[in-house]
Structure formats: structure tokens, C-alpha cells
Amino acid sequence: MTKIAKIKTLDDSTEFINILKNKELLIYEDVQGSKIFVNWDGNKFSIKPKSIKNDPLNFLDLAIQKFYNQAFEYLHSLPDYITELMNTKWWFCFEYFPDSQPANIQYNRIPKNNMILTCIVKGKKYVYDYEELSEYSKLFEVEPLPVVFKGELSSKQLQIIELYLNTNEEDLKFIFDEDNFAFFFYKILNAKIDRSFLMGEDEFNENLEKIVIKIDGKSKYSFEILNPLYKKMELVNNSEHVEIYSLILLRFLEFIQLIDITKYKLSKVTKEEIYIEMISDMFNEYMKNNEKNLLQWDFAIPSFFKEDKFKINIDLISNKETQEYIKSDDKIEYIFKCILSSFNKEKKKPVGIFTDTTLVLFNSVISKISIVIDKNLKINREYELQKDDLKNFKDYFKLKYDVDSSGDMYPDMYDEFEEEGGSKKKKKGKEKIPHKKKGEDFEDWDDFDPKKETL
């Protein structure tokens, strides 16, 4: 039974079919957007990416990339008569579409206002009541969960599903005269539907990963029938990109050790804004000393960065000089993005050319930056302004967004490179960290070569 992901002791298709018999079922197409959890607290919207357990996106997250521009712009445009109807204790789970391919599946259209409401989190319970989802999707003016079937499956439908589950991949087309997973299950479950979700007329998604089955009223039971022909997009995050990323950080780390980071006059009033202001000031000084060498540095920018949704939100960078540097060259913008997204919190593991010794040095600098920021915070104003931080995003915002069609999300670049690239093994012994005297340029850097639940 290779086409069903097993759950606990559920090991065969007969047991699975018996569970589904005479049950009110909710069956829907799995949609691959970018999952976000949204809450209205009575004053502002909070958005958590990927998981309800993650921290809400803050001003820094928004500045690092444009990925969430459309979600924030739309949610903060909702009028009071709509937000007043929302339960402030609930989190609404959406699949968010900044473009037509935020994950592995290419769709032909983008859902209404870029979002699909898939469930509501009430306390610790994930609720998939379709009538409720339909009502709230109308309230949000977005699309609801793409339900294919609701009710009891007939004996014939159950028989065909069981036969499918027991057919080898190579025999699917021979037995069923069909190898399009979406078309096959749509015709079995609801022949009146002439297309799969987010596709054109009479078009069924050729790379649908799975359909999801829930027993109505018992949301804790969830089953998935998997497409054996599904192909996941291969993301290129090779060792060269990991090494370049870590080297960008190492160069800036070297620079920070040569300057007095307490000298900058920081005027912002929230922690994220002060951090951006401080990094911008340091980056400007760094560029004045090293712009020529950085422009001559020959390295490949990761392909994902070429998409507009992963570009820096320049409108949230208040420093005009930094803005000009960002606009001047894609390579410079990528270097700034790496720095801005990495020097705000300590790291747990080495990445790329980093070693344990380098990591200790890196984290000590992060700690110094944090101390400077804390000293510059205007405590008597921060509390009130932090409450309005995300609500005021629309005041900074000028929508400049071109829809593109491919890529994946990299909200925390260090974590992504750490997960995908790992770190290179180093020989034991004392590590030599490149260093230059104050006033020297980085001419020698180019020669730097570190030794190298579901069923």
C-alpha cells in the first residue's frame, strides 16, 4: 500500500476503507501555498509563517524581503465593520500565494486576494467545519478550502479507491486508463467539477501531491491519499552558495571588529527599526571602504534572489544612502540582505566556512550589537509604539510588486543555509581568522581560502 502514508497501526487498504464506510467525510485537494496563521487582536493583525508555534512576523522580517507584502497590504486594508466581527482568540490558517508557484506546484491562477482559508485554530483545536470556513472566507473575501466531496462515499466509490490503492504505479494507466492523479479522483468523487483547483477550464493539475480526507466532526482524524507520480521541485542550495553566504558574514564580522559600534547616532524607537538603522549605518561605512572589491568579487547570486518577492523592501529602509547602495547592484543588495538577516540573533551551529571558533566570535559580536540597541531604546515610548508596529506597516508601504512564478521562501537565510548546506569539517587545532589592520582595504580577501500524521 505504497500510495498511503501510514498512520500508527493502519497498514492496509482494507482497514482504511472500513474506517471510511458510513462516515460523513470531507475530502479536499491539498493546495501548496505558503502557510500563514492570522490573528486580529482588536488593534492589529499578527501573522505567523509556516506554524502556529512560530513568532509573528515583525518589522525586520518585512524589511528583509517583499514576500509578505500583499498579505499585509490586504489584511490592513480590511474595514472596521469586518474586523469587529472577528474572534480575537482565534487564528485563521491560510494558504498564501504571493505568486502562482510559492512551493512545488505551478498553478494557472492566483486565488482571490492571494489567500485560501483552510482551517480555524480555536485554542489547541484545528477546526475544518466547511460551513464555518465558507462564511469566514466570505468575510475575508478570500477563497475557502477546495472541497471535492462532502458526505458518505458509495460502495462503488470505496471499491474503486481500494483498487487504486492496491495497484502498482506502473499499472495505473493500464488498469484505469488514466495517469493524472487529480483527474482520476475528481471524476470518482465529484464528476460535476470540470477542473482541479486554481487551474484553467477542463484542466487538472498534473502534479497534485495528495488529496486529504477528514471524518466530519472528528478533525483529529486525517488521512491522505498520495500521488505516486508527484514530483517535488528540486531547490538548488549548493555548497558554493553556502560558502559565499558565510564568507559575506565573515568579511562583515572582520569589519565590525575594527570599528566602534557605539558611535552611531540611533534615533528610532523600536528594537527592529533601531537594528535596521544600525546595520544601515555600518553597511554604509563598510561600502565606503570596500565597494570596489565587493563589486569585483566574482560569485553567483542564488536564483531565488532574482525574484522580486525575495528582494529587500527598500521602502522600509529609512537610510537614503543605504537605499542607493541597494539599488546600485544586485550583488550589493544580496550582500546587504545576508547581513541584515543574520546579525540580529545568535546562531546555534556553524554554517559554510564557519567553525566553532568563528561561531563564538560571531555570537559575541551579536551580543555587543544587542547591548548597543538596548541602550538606545527609548523605554518610555517603546511599549506603545511596539503595539502599533505592524499596524503602521501600511503607512510605510508603497506597493511595488511584479508577479513571478517560481521559487521557495527563505525568511531566515542563516537557518536555511545551515539546514541545507551544513558546515564543512575542519581539522582540529587553532583556527586562524583573517584579520587586517585598521585603515587597510580588503584586497587580500579574494585570495582567502579557508581549508576548505498522515495516512
Domain boundaries, the chain: 13-226, 239-447
pLDDT confidence of residue 418 = 64
User: What does pLDDT average to over the chain?
Assistant: 82
CATH superfamily of 13-226: DNA ligase/mRNA capping enzyme (3.30.470.30)
Of 431, 449, 448, nearest to 293 by C-alpha is 448
Ramachandran angles phi, psi of 92, nearest 5°: -95, 125
> Which grid cell sits at 209?
501531491
Model pTM score: 0.79
pLDDT confidence of residue 236 = 55
Query: Residues 147-166: what's their mean pLDDT?
Result: 91
pLDDT confidence of residue 416 = 64
Lowest mean pLDDT among 113-122, 271-280, 398-407, 414-423: 398-407
Lowest mean pLDDT among 7-21, 87-101, 178-192: 7-21
Sign of the torsion angle spanned by Cα atoms 332, 335, 341, 345: negative
- Distance of alpha carbon 375 from alpha carbon 379, whole angstroms: 9
pLDDT confidence of residue 103 = 83
With a cut of 70, say whether residue 150 has pLDDT above it: yes
pLDDT confidence of residue 202 = 87
With a cut of 80, say whether residue 179 has pLDDT above it: no
Of 242, 385, 375, nearest to 300 by C-alpha is 242
Query: How far from 226 is each of 185, 321, 455, CA to CA, in Å?
Result: 11, 52, 9
With a cut of 70, say whether residue 403 has pLDDT above it: no
With a cut of 50, say whether residue 110 has pLDDT above it: yes
> Could you tell me which residue, 176 or 28, shows the higher pLDDT?
28
With a cut of 80, say whether residue 169 has pLDDT above it: no
- Distance of alpha carbon 65 from alpha carbon 87, whole angstroms: 30
Per-residue pLDDT band at 7 (split at 50, 70, 90): very low
pLDDT confidence of residue 445 = 42
> Could you tell me which residue, 276 or 128, shows the higher pLDDT?
276
Query: How far from 288 is each of 322, 327, 333, CA to CA, in Å?
Result: 11, 16, 15
Supply the Cα-derived Rg of the chain in whole angstroms.
26
Per-residue pLDDT band at 378 (split at 50, 70, 90): low
With a cut of 90, say whether residue 453 has pLDDT above it: no
Q: Rounded to 10 degrees, what is the CA torsion of 378, 381, 383, 389?
A: -100
pLDDT per residue over 273-328, tens digit each?
999 999 999 999 999 999 999 999 999 888 878 888 999 999 999 999 999 999 99
Per-residue pLDDT band at 176 (split at 50, 70, 90): low
pLDDT per residue over 68-81, tens digit each?
999 999 999 999 99
Residue type present at position 378? K
Per-residue pLDDT band at 216 (split at 50, 70, 90): confident
pLDDT per residue over 406-444, tens digit each?
434 444 666 666 655 554 444 444 444 445 444 444 444
Strands 147-151 and 143-144: unpaired
pLDDT confidence of residue 454 = 37
